[in-house]
Amino acid sequence: MRAYLELTKPRISLLFAITGLAALVIEGSLSFGTWAPWIIVLALFLVGGSANSFNQYFEREIDARMERTAKKRPLPLQKISPLAALFFSIGIGAVGLGVLFYLGITALAFLLGLFTILFYSFFYTLWLKPKTPYNIVIGGVAGAMGPLIAWSAITGTIGWEAFVMFLIIFIWTPPHFWALALYHKEDYQKVSLPMLPLVKGDEETRKQIFYYSLALVPLSLSLYLSKSLSLFYVLCALALGSVFVWFSFRLYREKTLPLARRLFGYSIAYLMLLFLTIIIDGLV
C-alpha cells in the first residue's frame, strides 16, 4: 500500500489538493457541515496522484538510472509491477474525474481535471520534457490547475482569484524545479534530459530563478484585492516572498550547490505556507 501511495508522489498531490482547498475558501463554498467540498478536495488528490503515477510509469527506466530516484521510487525498486502501476494510475484517475463529473455544477471541472492528467502524463512527460530546456515552464500548467478545478466544480466558472492562484503556482514552479536541476545536474545529464542548467548553463539558470522569484511577490500580494483576505495575508505573503527572493539572490551571488538545495526545500515550504495562510485568513 505504501508503494502505491508513493506512486502518487503524495506530498506533491497533497499540495495540489491544498491549493484547490484554498480556492474553495476564497470562493466561500467551504463548509464544515457539508461533505461536497471535501470530496472535491479528495478528488483533486486523486487527479494529481493519477498524473504523478502515470509520470512514474512512463519514466520508470529513466528513474532506474538516476541516483535521485533509483532507490526511492517503487517501480525502480520493483515493489510493484509496471502493469499494476498502469492500472492503478487509470483507476484513481477515473475515480477522481468521476467525482468531479458527478459533483461539478457543469462539466468544466471534469474537463480541467482530464486536461491535467493528459497534459502532465503524456504531453509533458513523453514529449515536452525530452525536447526543450523550458519543459517545466510549460509543464507547470498542469501543477497549477488545482484552484481552477476546485473553483469550477463549485461555480461552473473560473473566478479571477482562482486564476491568480493558478498564476502563483505557475510562476513558482520553474524556480522550484530549476533549483533541484542545479543540484542534480549530473543525474539529468546521465539520462540526456535537456534541463536548463545543461543547455543554458548554471549562470543563466540562477538568473532565471531570481527573476521568477521577484515576479512571485507582487503576484501573491495582488490576492489582497479579494474581499476574503485581510492585512494578515499581505504581511505573511510579503514575508514568505521576501525570504524566497533572498534565497534566490544568495544563490545567484554565491553560486553554491548547498544553497540550491536549501532553496528547493524552502520553495516547497513557501507554497505550502502561502496557501495555508490563504485558508486560515479566509476562514477567519
Q: What is the pLDDT of residues 42-81, one digit of tens each?
A: 999 999 999 999 999 999 999 999 988 988 999 999 999 9
Per the structure, how many domains does the chain have?
Answer: 1
Mean pLDDT, rounded, for 228-249: 96
**Residues contacting residue 146 through CB under 8 Å, at least 6 positions apart:** 16, 17, 18, 19, 20, 23, 44, 48, 169
Q: What angle do CA 261, 235, 238 make, to 5 degrees?
A: 40
pLDDT surpassing 70 at residue 222: yes
For residue 44, give every residue at least 6 positions away whose Cβ sits within 8 Å of its Cβ, in sequence order, or none: 16, 17, 20, 96, 113, 146, 149, 150
Is it the case that residue 31 has pLDDT exceeding 70? no
Q: What is the pLDDT of residue 187?
A: 87
Rounded average pLDDT over 237-266: 95
Secondary structure (3-state) at 90: helix
Structural domain that includes position 102:
2-283
Q: Cα–Cα distance between 263 and 216 in angstroms, integer? A: 15
Give 69-75 contacts, CB < 8 A, sequence gap 24+.
Answer: 72/6, 73/6, 74/3, 74/4, 74/6, 74/7, 75/7
Banded pLDDT at 265 (limits 50, 70, 90): very high
Decide if pLDDT at 32 tops 60. Answer: no
pLDDT of residue 34: 79
- CA separation for the pair 237, 3 (Å, rounded): 35
Whole-model pTM? Answer: 0.94
CATH of the domain at 176: 1.10.600
- Per-residue pLDDT of 105-122, as tens digits, reads 899 999 999 999 999 999
For 177-199, what is the mean pLDDT?
91
Q: Residue 210: pLDDT above 70?
A: yes
- pLDDT, average across residues 159-183: 95
